[in-house]
A and B are shown apart, each in its own frame.
Chain A
């Protein structure tokens, strides 16, 4: 299997170098893999995920995702549009748009017609069990439902990689497991590479591999079992 992610000695600091958010990360992820990233708050998990999605650029080191060299490439909005689907901790839905219109938002970057966009968005909503809420405003939905809409939105452009940053962080455990089940089903069905940041060990252990970040460094990058892991909580 080929690697969809290749990261070498990645460094990223903020506040003029005072905060070293990532301090020399080396990581490879195979295509179709399900990886979870754990670590204490402020350890650099979100920064790493943002780097993978080209939302931020590294200070040094190399990062290659889905064939794009993210440290030098300029076509990053195209990369984000075509290769990446983001799911954030907060759903970040646009409040004045209906559920189905929110799912259509990423499709504006494609050449789809309005009706193609609509039918695809409805199919995606059906996939997360929310087709009947398509014309409602996000404010009428529960937290779990909103996050399912965000998942449908992340899938809008058939991404190669789904990046989820604590997607269940603001949900109760029952809703959380439902959301996770949906993400994992997707990963299995479509062979999408799934990278989830979480501090929930129950979530982390469902992954093929658990990566642990501490102070901007990987302390555990390849272990496929949780048995000999230092669990930081």
Chain B
């Protein structure tokens, strides 16, 4: 028999007590794993939408209302005006027009500065970005599939031939089916160099986007409006962070409650096995070996709890999350957190009872009835 097998045999001698301890720790682990799955699921959903390097907020004409991609226009001069507002790092205008594209009588053509595509949350997945003022477009992946277009094909826009040079992906559903070219080209095409639809604004490092947006609203609120959907997403991200913090809070609670539970279980177990521990000492077991045995038994209970809790947590998440339209994401960190906590609880919960067992004088232990 190996020492490990001996340790594995002990915790389940009093099944009820062990099951109770497992139950207690399991609840903590389930919450941690489920919360981890939900949080990561939310994070990945929102990270799809707000790519790093994206704009902090956008600006549109007053009459456009809250739609960031309306077709109402504002004067191109706003680009320079907004760029001079303090706290603004970069401004990119976009020009959204409805025109004939390919076999569609009306579709959305968006003009943007080639350097501004990251702010518009466009990620090139194939080919390259268009060059300024060239008859080149990039098209959304959805659109490409729909129209059976690929890089190198050409497409007619308002009677003029354009070459598809790239395919992009975006988390922004408004733009998934659109066609992009340079804003200069759109100006040419529309014969209107003075109009733009929206401005994408990125604030300077260390500036609060909300403060900068409020500043713009205060200065030019009569004519333009800031659209903060991007900021709201960031506030969402902040909320997710607090969800993650809550998960750590619950972990701490699980450590305390689970720790007390396991201490209680192990103390009872040590107490009931007083004679047996006396025998182990009599046959020459060192204090260290006895300590290892008790802490090992405690770890068996907590690690088993972590396994059961993880399985239940994942199962519950997979079952319940789709009901609220969320796809849970389980990453390694969540399980590292769950098992880490189980191991910490196992060690601290086992150490005190183990020290009790070690301190027991063997003669007392053997006299114990």
Contact = CB atoms under 8 A, between A and B. Distances in A.
B284 A96 contact: no
Interface in A40-57: 47, 50, 53, 55-56
B363 A50 contact: yes
A228 to B, nearest CB: 34
B351 to A, nearest CB: 20
B9 A55 contact: no
Is chain B's binding surface mostly helix, strand, loop or mixed? Answer: helix
Interface string B270-309: 0000011011111111110100000000000000000000
A80 B278 CA distance: 12
A96 B282 contact: no
A96 B10 contact: yes
A226 interface: no
A77 interface: yes
B76 to A, nearest CB: 83
A198 interface: no
Interface residues of B, number: 24
Contacts of B278: 92
A117 B281 CA distance: 19
B283 A80 contact: yes
Interface string B64-98: 00000000000000000000000000000000000
- Count class of interface residues, chain A: 20 to 34
A101 B10 CA distance: 13
A56 B283 contact: no
A68 B280 CA distance: 20
A96 B289 CA distance: 19
Contacts of B285: 77, 81, 108-109
Q: Closest 8 interchain pairs by CB? A: A81-B284, A106-B283, A80-B284, A55-B362, A77-B286, A109-B284, A92-B279, A56-B363
Interface of B: 1-3, 6, 9-10, 13, 275-276, 278-287, 289, 361-363, 366
Interface of A: 47, 50, 53, 55-56, 77-82, 84, 86, 88, 92, 94-97, 101, 104-106, 108-109, 114, 117-118, 153, 156-157
11 contacts: A50-B362, A56-B363, A77-B281, A77-B287, A80-B283, A81-B285, A88-B279, A92-B276, A92-B366, A108-B289, A109-B286
